[in-house]
A and B are shown apart, each in its own frame.
Chain A
């Protein structure tokens, strides 16, 4: 009798201990992780400053002119937000594909092809304005999806690595755009304004552009709202829906996923097509909302920057909104750097350092949990990870 009671007591003790362990220790891990993320991002900025100082510039001046160029001057914040639209759209696409374990890193090419589709529709399809705008935007989505669809097809047919094929396609895409805008029977601008026949298309007529609106003195177009809604929607779907679970399962472990009936052919392909489509949409937004004409370098690193912004957001759709605004601020602010004597390409170094910084917390967690302190504090949860 007595023994029995003792046993029970021990059991509850153990249960309580387990509960305590799981709640408190996991939380402290979480807090540690958030702290590490902030620490690493600040560290990335610090190293950027160090580099500026190393080449003889002043880090504070660079920072202040970046902020001035991207937020403070009149209308600058609006410009930054407009730049952030394609970045955000690309980021969401990248997040979906990375979560599915298919690394679509050819976003730059998909942006270019999306822009091409949008420009073709906007310039050559007749019809009422609202129809052309919607059609062009949808067309850009299809264009991007088509470009990533080639990689999907290559993967399904011949198991060609998606990462390699999307990257190779990225280098082909700008050449296709260049071909289109340098032939007069395609998209070359043959109006009188383009007397030197530069390789570019005609401007999208005023009434066929994305409608603009003004808020707090900042000029924005409707793409801002579309992008934010899409990003919240897709992040919600990814996190809460059955489809999202399937996609994440596929990315986490495709053998397990196969057991549950989640296949590369269906969910993986959908994720990749969606990812390409969102990049294409970004291209459409560039043509219809800010550039208004097609050139061979229409993608202008938006694809790469969006990819990086997704990595910096640690593949979280909500944080992607913040990180794409940050990346857009680097783009708009960089034009103000001339006064500081530091080349504007410092922003691409900052981008690279931030991406590395976003990777570091996971690495530091590994280091900490391998150390003696970490073992005592967090227990050796993953057996044999030392």
Chain B
């Protein structure tokens, strides 16, 4: 029984990290007022870039950087089109996601890849803790970014001038503009953060979780990450909680099969993360207030570019 719980916990955390990394980036973007639908595309681009980079250079570390760059590239396009050229952010997001899905599927079939996998690294002593030890401290080493990335995001958003400006841009862009904050620039920068984080999530997905790239492997994980931010009520703790909850839902099917429980039919288990995200959005999310200017357009009058 204890072993079963350990298995479920371990795989929930492993899959939850994907949502966590992507959701942290989306959290920053949403605080600045952008619902970044292309997160899915960034994640997939990150996964492909990482696999390609690791396969070409033979080093997973360089692969991670390649993944981050691929995520940033999509973020750059999203920021350019939606917050410099004034095109609707949702339409841009859909278009970019579709383009990334098509492009990665095509290139995946054209270019053969053999990426190395990121090694497992057990933190000595801590990994010996019963039940939670294996889940938290015996993952592949990229997973340990989950220990300091949230802290970093928290420090940046809540304790720097840049973070304050990002939050104000998301709450009241007109007032921020009057105070000399370059609204669109901050929004673009926050999208770059989203690109960076989801590129990392993609790299984690393809290099650590599966060890290979496959067609459309993100399969809605980006959407669930967005849902995690909404579910968390635009707070950092809520986002983290949401990410791991959806990771748990994602892992549930896999774990129950390993344990040998077949009470719930497979199709329903497969839709668990999405179902749970929807139920979460229905019940908890709007207890807190969303950024007032979320998903609003801002006319570029203050932004000299």
Q: Interface size (B, Cβ < 8 Å)?
A: 49
Interface residue? B299 (CB, 8 A)? yes
> A346 touches which one: B98, B101, B106, B278 (CB < 8 A)?
B106
> A362 touches which one: B87, B107, B110, B277 (CB < 8 A)?
B87
A176 CB to nearest B CB, Å: 7
Question: What is the chain B residue whose CB lies nearest that of A159?
Answer: B286
Q: Do A366 and B85 form a contact, CB below 8 Å, given A154-B281, A345-B106? A: yes
Interface residue? B200 (CB, 8 A)? no
> What chain A residues lie within 8 Å of B265 (beta carbons)?
179
A54 CB to nearest B CB, Å: 9
Q: Which of B106-164 contact A (CB under 8 A)?
A: 106-107, 109-111
> What chain B residues lie within 8 Å of A163 (beta carbons)?
35, 37, 90
Whether the Cβ atoms of A349 and B102 lie closer than 8 Å is: yes
Interface residue? B94 (CB, 8 A)? yes
Binds B, one of A167-175, A189-197, A229-237, A317-325: A167-175
Whether the Cβ atoms of B85 and A367 lie closer than 8 Å is: yes
> What chain B residues lie within 8 Å of A157 (beta carbons)?
282
CA A163 to CA B226, docked complex, whole Å: 11
Interface residue? A165 (CB, 8 A)? yes
> What chain B residues lie within 8 Å of A55 (beta carbons)?
107, 110-111
Q: Interface size (A, Cβ < 8 Å)?
A: 49
Number of inter-chain CB pairs below 8 Å: 138
Question: What is the chain A residue whose CB lies nearest that of B221?
Answer: A171
Whether the Cβ atoms of A307 and B99 lie closer than 8 Å is: no
A349 CB to nearest B CB, Å: 4
Whether the Cβ atoms of A164 and B230 lie closer than 8 Å is: yes
> What chain B residues lie within 8 Å of A308 (beta carbons)?
94, 98
Interface residue? B274 (CB, 8 A)? yes
Interface residue? B260 (CB, 8 A)? no
Whether the Cβ atoms of B94 and A351 lie closer than 8 Å is: no
Interface residue? B92 (CB, 8 A)? yes
Some 15 contacts from A to B, beta carbons below 8 A apart, are A55-B111, A105-B90, A158-B285, A161-B281, A175-B270, A179-B267, A343-B106, A345-B109, A351-B98, A352-B95, A359-B81, A359-B95, A363-B86, A367-B85, A385-B299
Given contacts A345-B109, A355-B94, 7 further A-B contacts (CB under 8 A): A164-B223, A167-B220, A178-B267, A179-B268, A343-B109, A363-B86, A385-B299
Give 9 closest A-B pairs by Cβ, nearest first: A352-B99, A348-B102, A384-B301, A363-B85, A175-B267, A179-B267, A175-B271, A349-B102, A352-B102
